[in-house]
């Protein structure tokens, strides 16, 4: 497969020295691009991802794309387990040691206090790199094929010996959207059994953007149709008034001759 022109510089940018999440939150752009999560082996020893050459104490955990990098990281990955597959994966894997609690809404999510605890854990253990790119999807696919990050490929299924209480591989050992649904969705371990009904976190942003564009297009066409209809009604009204005025004038002329 020939290398795309943007793959090499994007990959090099992602393999620079990772930044803390506090620094990243302030520096992330609002443009499209790719991002990479890095973790020390001591934090997640069952994920032997590629080593960061600028920081050998960090291994690649996850590679993703976003239409708006800052929104993806700060509003999804660092805030809500219901809208981040990575976050749900971490919650499921850390639940035995951290004792996270869940609540059932339209899916199983962490309670607010434990959302904050998970965010604190991510700030303490994870770091981030990113690279801007106007069309990150094809670049992401090629980089995942080359780098084989553990949280972004199905090959990780064989790497982590962990299983969920349902006897299935835990999220993080494969793509969470490929896991079968947990037979006990109300159980505290449901986060480790299934990602619930949400879409893959990175794909969902693209779908939301497409849906927003479709809604905006429909609104625009509705406005055009309404404006055209109103203009047509106005023209018809003007034509009727002019016709009535002409008839009245003609009647007056005829009446004056008699």
DSSP of the chain: -PPPTTHHHHHHHHTS--EEHHHHHHH--SS-EEEEEEE-TTTSTT---PEETTEEEEEEEEEEEESSHHIIIIIIITT-GGG-HHHHHHHHHHHHHH---EEESSSEEE-HHHHHHHHHHHHHH-EEEEEE-SSHHHHHHHHHHHH--TTSSGGGGGT---B-TTSSBPTTSS-GGGSPPPS-TTSTTHHHH--TTSPPHHHHHHHHHHHHHHHHHHHHHHHHHHHHHHHHHHHHHHHHHHHHHHHHHHHHHHHHT-
Q: What is the pLDDT of residues 146-158, one digit of tens each?
A: 888 876 643 333 3
> pLDDT tens, 15-38?
999 999 999 999 999 999 999 999
Which pLDDT band, with edges at 50, 70 and 90, does 111 fall under? very high
Q: How far apart are CA 84 and CA 164, in angstroms?
A: 19
Inform me whether the pLDDT recorded for 63 exceeds 90: yes
The per-residue pLDDT for 185 is 39
Buried/exposed code over 79-118 (b: 16+ C-beta within 10 A; e: otherwise): bbbbbbbbbbbbbbbbbeeeebebeeeebbbbeeebbebb
**Total number of residues shown for the chain:** 258
Of the listed ranges 57-66, 118-127, 246-255, the least confidently predicted one is 246-255
Share of the chain above pLDDT 70, in %: 74
Neighbours of 123 (CB within 10 A): 14
Highest mean pLDDT among 147-161, 173-187, 228-242: 228-242
Instruction: Give the pLDDT band of residue 48 (cuts 50, 70, 90).
Output: confident
Asked whether the predicted pLDDT for residue 119 surpasses 70, the reply is: yes
pLDDT exceeds 50 at position 181: no
pLDDT at residue 118 is higher than 50:
yes
pLDDT at 150: 75
Q: Is the pLDDT of residue 126 over 80?
A: yes
Q: Taking residues 176-203, what's their average pLDDT?
A: 42
Task: Give the chain's mean pLDDT.
Answer: 78
**Dihedral in degrees, nearest 10, Cα atoms 96, 76, 182, 110:** 50
Q: How confident is the model at residue 221 (pLDDT cuts 50, 70, 90)?
A: confident
Contacting residues for 178 by C-beta, under 8 A, at least 6 apart: 154
**Tokens 């991802």, residue?**
49
Q: Is the model more confident about 245 or about 172?
A: 245
Kindly state the average pLDDT of the residues 121-139.
Answer: 95
Give one DSSP letter per residue of 21-74, joined into a string: HHHHHHH--SS-EEEEEEE-TTTSTT---PEETTEEEEEEEEEEEESSHHIIII
Integer CA distances (angstroms), 69 to 13, 118, 141, 146, 205, in order: 14, 20, 17, 22, 11
- Locate 93 and state its tokens: 């894997």
What predicted TM-score, i.e. pTM, was given to this entire model? Answer: 0.63
């Amino acid at each position: 497969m020939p290398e795309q022109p943007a793959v090499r510089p994007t990959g090099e940018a992602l393999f620079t020295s990772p930044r803390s999440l506090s620094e990243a939150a302030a520096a992330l752009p609002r443009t499209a691009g790719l991002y990479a999560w890095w973790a020390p082996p001591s934090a997640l020893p069952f994920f032997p991802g590629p080593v960061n050459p600028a920081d050998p104490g960090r291994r690649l955990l996850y590679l993703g794309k976003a239409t708006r990098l800052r929104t993806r990281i700060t509003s999804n990955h660092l805030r809500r387990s219901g809208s981040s597959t990575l976050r749900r994966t971490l919650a499921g894997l850390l639940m035995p040691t951290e004792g996270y609690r869940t609540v059932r809404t339209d899916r199983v999510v962490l309670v607010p206090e434990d959302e904050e605890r998970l965010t604190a854990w991510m700030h303490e253990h994870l770091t981030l790199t990113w690279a801007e790119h106007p069309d990150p999807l094809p670049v992401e696919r090629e980089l995942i094929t080359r780098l084989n990050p553990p949280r972004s490929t199905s090959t990780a299924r064989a790497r982590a010996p962990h299983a969920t209480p349902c006897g299935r591989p835990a999220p993080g050992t494969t793509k969470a959207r490929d896991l079968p649904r947990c037979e006990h969705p109300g159980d505290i371990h449901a986060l480790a059994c299934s990602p619930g009904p949400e879409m893959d976190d990175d794909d969902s942003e693209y779908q939301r953007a497409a849906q927003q564009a479709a809604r905006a297009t429909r609104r625009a066409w509705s406005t055009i149709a309404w404006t055209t209809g109103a203009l047509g009604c106005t023209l018809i009204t003007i034509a009727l008034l002019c016709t009535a005025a002409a008839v009245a004038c003609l009647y007056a002329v005829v009446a004056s001759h008699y």
